[in-house]
Structure formats: C-alpha cells, structure tokens
A = this chain, B = another copy of it.
C-alpha cells in the first residue's frame, strides 16, 4: 500500500488530536513521525502511532503537558516534559538550544520526564536550518547488555550528529549504539530467519542467531559485538547517552528507563522522572566562516564518495545520504506501508472515532 505524504500526515494529526493534543502539538508530532517515514526509517514513523496511543490509554502519556525550563545558564538548560510526547518535548528543547546558540555560540538542553522522541535526526536536523551543528540523543527501554553481562541494562540509546554541507545534503550520523537496532530483530522474527552472530545473546550470555533471543530473556549486544572487537566501546557510547540523557537531566537511567511498550510496567523505586534526552546546537560561524566550512565539507564528502571500492557495485555511503534519497523519492512517489501497519492504523482510527486513512 502506497500512501501520499499529505494524506498520512493529515491522518497522523487526526490521531494525535483525538487523544487530546493541542493543535500545534498534533501538527508537530505528525511532522516528527512523517520525517521518519519519509527518510525510510519505517520502524520509527507511523508504525509507532499505536504505541503512543497505548501509552496514553495507560495513563503514561500526558497530551497537554506543561513543558517548562526548570534550570538554566546562558548556554545550558534542563527541561521537564511533564510526561508529554517526546516528539513535542524534544522539539521544544531543541528550539531552546538553537536560541541559546544564536545568542552565545552554543546551546545544550537536558530533558527529563519525557517519552519516546522519534528519530534523533529530526531534532538534530533543526540546527542545520540555522547553519548550526546539531546533536541529539535519548535513552530508551533496557534491551542491551553491557560487555561481560547478559543483563538488559541499556536501551539502544541512539546518538546523532548533523553537519551542514554546501552542494551536498547535510551529513547525518544517526545511530543506535547497539550492534543492531531492535527493529532488525523484529524483521527477522516476522520472516522467521536467523540473525547474524554478533547481534544478540541468550539469557545465559551465549552467542545466538535466534531472532527471538531478546523476547525470550536474552539481550542485544553493544556496537562491537564482542570484547575483542571493541564491544566495551559500544557500551561506553551507550553509557554516555544514558548519563547525558538520564543522569544529567534527572530522568531515569539504566534498567529504570520506563518501557515504551505499554504492557510492560516501569520498575518501582524509579530514581528519576520519565525517560531522558539530550540535545544541542553549535553555530558553525562560532568557529569559522560558514562558506569555508561548507567548501571543506563538500571536499570531504567528494573524497569519501570516491574512495577505492571493495566491490565495484558499492560506493562508500556518506552518513545521511540514503535517508536524503529516500525522502526525495517518497515525497514524489508516496510512502509504502506494509499491510500490518496499514491495518493497525485503520483499526486505530475506528477505535478513536476519527476519519480513516
């Protein structure tokens, strides 16, 4: 099923309106989810709409939050999201970071008491419009085991950097800090095929190719997969995301991060509030003239695109390039939805009494 962008955007807006989001928030939340679908990150777009609604049904999502700054300096701030949609809360925080960067060169905002914020790239890309470098990360439901453990203590904790370019689209490094995103295991589960070694562990810490490893008590592995291939570095990156997002903001961290899926309850004795994010922006012209930076980054991109290939059919991929191409294509030709997602969206419309897709 192929759906045009505007049609899917309007539908998503109607769903968010129907759970009580103010108009501007529903527009913004739809924009964040659509950006994922346009960029080809199907796992983080409208496929998650039902998940947000179920959090609301379970009283774990506040559709009319009083988002506010609870602490700040000229270039730093902490935002309390009041249990609102992360899609909206993180956007609010990123606007603050950009405004601080405009005034002082850089701006950094830690966010607590939030929920799932969509793709990190959406927030970090906002900086690009102002010729700034963007930064966004979030902690997430515990699925990943630290090196030497089989216990799920960390989320797939994505980290994103965005850099403006000149004649090329921006460089967008947006990556889970695990070896593989959980969505890749879900695809293997649906297709009933084994996963590559290096993605997951059994509950007793053995390497496995079982696509159901994580749903049966196992864990995802950090980037690097094994200690002798540097999995302690993936653990270190994931820890960095957890500390900046969770500990610095006063949100939860580690195993206490509340699960996105509404059928799992958060742990008792939570040390913080909700899940946490961290976003930032730095003005390029805080370091050198924008035109000089863009000329050099274009040269960087050209050089890497032309790197010697191992396989003649496959060039080096500049981070963010496939997602930029997907966006161009899907804006013109529409967004493909798999049957299960299409049916879930229609069922959601019926349940909430809004016009179907």
Residues in chain A within 8 A of chain B (CB atoms): 71-78, 104-106, 108, 110, 133, 145-151, 153, 161, 163, 171, 173, 175-180, 196, 198-199, 201, 204-205, 223-226, 228-230, 232-237, 239-240, 242-244, 247-250, 253-255, 271-272, 282-284, 286-288, 292-293, 296-297, 299-300, 303-304, 307-311, 314-317, 319
Contacts and interface: CB of A to CB of B under 8 A. Distances in A.
Given A173-B240, A242-B300, A310-B205, A286 B76 contact: yes
B225 A229 contact: yes
Contacts of A179: 224, 229-230
Contacts of A244: 133
A300 B178 CA distance: 19
A74 B153 CA distance: 38
A249 to B, nearest CB: 7
Contact of A147 (B75, B78, B225, B317): B317
B74 A104 contact: yes
A133 B244 CA distance: 9
A76 B292 contact: no
A250 B292 contact: yes
B196 A229 contact: yes
B105 A297 contact: no
B105 A74 contact: yes
Nearest to A235: B319
A108 B106 contact: yes
B249 A287 contact: yes
Nearest to A109: B287
Contact of A272 (B233, B287, B296): B296
A54 to B, nearest CB: 28
B248 A288 contact: yes
8 contacts: A77-B286, A146-B307, A151-B308, A163-B247, A177-B233, A199-B229, A224-B225, A232-B317
